[in-house]
Homo-oligomer: A and B are copies of this chain.
Amino acid sequence: MDFTPSEKGQDYLNRVKAFIRDEIQPIEADYHAEMARLDNRWVELPVIAELKAKAREQGLWNLFFPDEEHGCGLLNSDYALIAEETGKSFIAPEIFNCNAPDTGNMEVLIHYGSEEQKAQWLPRLLSGEIRSAFCMTEPAVASSDATNMSATAVVEGDEVVLNGRKWWSTGIGHPKCEMIIFMGLSDPEAPKHRQHSMVLVPKNTPGVKVERMLPVFGSYDEPYGHGEVSFDNVRLPKSAIIAGPGRGFEIAQGRLGPGRVHHCMRAIGAAERTLELLIKRAMSREAFGKPLARLGGNPDIIANARMSIEQARLLTLKCAWLLDTKGIMGALSEVAMIKAVIPQMLQTIVDNAIQIHGGAGVSDDDFPLTQLFAYARVLRLADGPDEVHRGTVAKLELKKYA
């Protein structure tokens, strides 16, 4: 048994930590302040491009790819610890070209894309030149049951025609977002998990319209944002379908495993950051003759936070290790478990941190806690609500006795 990263992983981890400490943290407050001053925040500030260039130069780029062709050949379990570090900052993932949904979209292209599709999109995504979005969730149906998806991707001759309305398309507001992966119903007569297709859609295709950007607890999360997007008779060559019609769920499944590890490890990083804020505040304020950190049930809150973070991290690392050693089919339960456990864990810690900060905790301008709360809250819904993941865990558990 060994709970340490590989030598290579540790080396990258050290370098990422140093980069964040030396390059990102010093500019982060200014970055957010500058963004706050802008009337139009749907822009990429120059500092981001500069840091991306610097990170790429140092080889801290596309770290999430497990292969050496596209990334650095890091194990999922090694990259997980890096993702945790980037999760402590709202901008770090982008700097290392490790931001969702681009990461998952690139993986889909590599694993399922045709040579033509790869040629069209991959180089610019790998270089961070453009960004992309993923359109799956729909406003009109309960998306917790993915088979409810009712937007259509119908093959007509040599074309595929897209119709319907999607939302929570993260990143679609980014000025560099040029590509969308759209998932829609192709054949309602096919078996349940063979009815849907994924289609590559240039964002500027006629009929694609971003109807609005969605405000979440008062923030549009610029310059990425979450969009509501209508597809009105969007016509593309049939070759835009990824891996052929009816394979949407198969691709979605494959996309999930590592992506959830990334999400969850970033959330663990956010939890560590939150706990640090909580403790520092609790040590700096006194009430009833004691620092808050030693008052009443507060030590329990701190201990519970530490205990839940440690457990959550180990579960996620084990999940990553299973993906490394047994693949997604060997990690189905763990992939569901982390998604059910970690966002809720983060939300609880943020809520406690808010409480210990008092009024300062609910003021957007004083601490990042409301923003962290929104992040946690959304994560409990994004990519499947907690309930669905617990359902998966239960189902796999029952299977052992079937």
Contacts and interface: CB of A to CB of B under 8 A. Distances in A.
Interface of A: 1-6, 75, 77-78, 137, 139, 141-145, 148, 167-168, 212, 214-219, 275-276, 279-280, 283, 285-288, 292-294, 296-297, 299-300, 302-304, 306-307, 310-312, 314-315, 317-318, 320-321, 333-334, 337, 340-341, 351, 354-355, 358-366, 370, 373-374, 377-378, 380-381, 385-387, 389-395, 397-398, 400-401
Contacts of A283: 398, 401
A374 B217 contact: yes
A299 B3 contact: no
Nearest to A282: B398
A373 to B, nearest CB: 8
Given A2-B1, A311-B311, A364-B215, A279 B143 contact: no
A327 to B, nearest CB: 15
B139 A398 contact: no
Given A214-B365, A218-B218, A391-B296, A381 B359 contact: yes
A306 B78 CA distance: 25
Given A148-B286, A296-B387, A299-B296, A358 B143 contact: yes
B142 A393 contact: no
A386 B355 contact: yes
B218 A364 contact: yes
B359 A143 contact: yes
A129 to B, nearest CB: 29
A207 to B, nearest CB: 23
A380 B220 CA distance: 26
- Copies of this chain present: 4
Contacts of A310: 315, 318, 334, 337
Contact of A303 (B145, B320, B394): B394
B390 A299 contact: yes
Nearest to A386: B355
Nearest to A4: B1
A216 B363 contact: yes
Given A141-B285, A390-B303, A217 B218 contact: yes
A386 B304 CA distance: 11
Contacts of A317: 1
B363 A215 contact: yes
Given A306-B333, A310-B318, 18 more contacts: A137-B358, A144-B287, A214-B366, A215-B365, A216-B362, A217-B374, A275-B397, A283-B398, A283-B401, A300-B394, A302-B397, A302-B398, A310-B334, A311-B341, A314-B314, A355-B385, A358-B381, A359-B381
B377 A354 contact: yes
Contacts of A214: 359, 363, 365-366
Given A142-B286, A285-B142, A218 B370 contact: yes
A337 to B, nearest CB: 5
Nearest to A167: B359
Nearest to A310: B315
A330 to B, nearest CB: 12
A341 to B, nearest CB: 6
A231 B215 CA distance: 35
Contact of A279 (B137, B275, B361, B398): B398
Contact of A321 (B1, B137, B394): B1
Most chain B beta-carbon neighbours within 10 Å: one of A77, A285, A397: A397
